[in-house]
Structure 1
Amino acid sequence: MNSIDTRIFERLPERWAHGARHAGEDPSQAMDIIFIEGFESETVIGIDPEELHETQPVRIDLWAGLPKSLACESDRIADTIDYGKVHGALEALLSAHGMQLLEGLAGAIARMLLDDFGAHWVRVSLVKPRKFPNVKAVGVTIERRRQTTGSARVSRRERTSLALLGAGMFPPSSSL
């Protein structure tokens, strides 16, 4: 049996490892990762009085995983997460969120990716550069997975698909 020399992976840049599977994980859980790296914008965020009314710069890195994306076979944007639409949704969220903590905003971004874009796994890093004069940046990184037990949440994409599949299956309620 041929063995693969895994030492070559030790020389790869750290950023390539984001979202990578770890040894011993079930290969059926492998994800295709869509990412946005270095998204920079401004928003009102923070708890200090000087942060409550003026925008300040933030940087976002995000990774969203889909199990075996259909787009690999179909080459259709509808079969994956459209990072152009994610970019627009991030801009809209940053202009209207009203949160004070980076953790809350990172959680809102994660929920948006899971609920509205159909991601099964997300990692969101949210950074405030230059928060302190002697610190390059402060921030938070969170990971979330789609819940598979309990009350199942259905993404917007899945709701649309289900509605289209069910269209015309039942007579209109007025004819019952």
Structure 2
Amino acid sequence: MTDQVFIQGLECQAVIGVFEWEKQIRQTLLLDLEMAWDNRAAAAADDYSKALCYDTVSKAVTALVQDHPHELVETVAEKVADLILTRFQVAGVRVRVSKPGAVANARTVGVQIQRGTF
């Protein structure tokens, strides 16, 4: 499958980090998501119900990230991938989690994972 639905730069305000001071504040995480999804049925029928709704995915991911504290961006990436694979039944997902400002002389740092097939 080569079709993908993507979401870039999904901004979430999260409690994220291993240090005590980080557990007392919210920090910005940016998520980029690529989801393997066959778009042909939705396109052929021009039917929203056959499409993967990026707004619904975005809201579910934002709630997961913002409503639960995490220490590691790796944990966030795995939980987001699992949510998308199970709740939205996509064939595969790539999740990139960036934590801007975590390293003073870098624009951003983070992780990227791929689960399932593309």
TM-score, normalised relative to structure 2: 0.90
Deviations 1:102-151 (A, max 9, x none): 111111111111111111110000000011221211100000006xxxxx
Q: Are 2:75 and 1:104 aligned?
A: yes
Q: Shift of the alpha carbon at 1:69?
A: 4.1
Structure 2 match to 1:137: 108
Q: Are 2:7 and 1:42 aligned?
A: no
Q: Are 2:53 and 1:92 aligned?
A: no
Contact 2:29 2:97 in 1 (8 A): yes
* Structure 1 unaligned blocks of 5 or more: 1-29, 147-176
Tell me the distance in 2 between the aligned counterparts of 1:69 and 1:123.
Answer: 21
State the aligned residue count: 117
Name the structure, 1 or 2, with higher relative contact order (CA <8 Å, separation 6+): 2
Give me the CA root mean square deviation.
1.5
- Structure with higher Rg: it is 1
Higher relative strand content: 2
* Structure 2 unaligned blocks of 5 or more: none
Classify 1:69/1:105 alpha carbon distance in 2 versus 1 (closer, same or farther; 3 Å).
farther
Q: Shift of the alpha carbon at 1:80?
A: 2.0
Deviations 1:25-48 (A, max 9, x none): xxxxx2310000111121001112
Tell me the distance in 1 between the aligned counterparts of 2:97 and 2:65.
Answer: 12
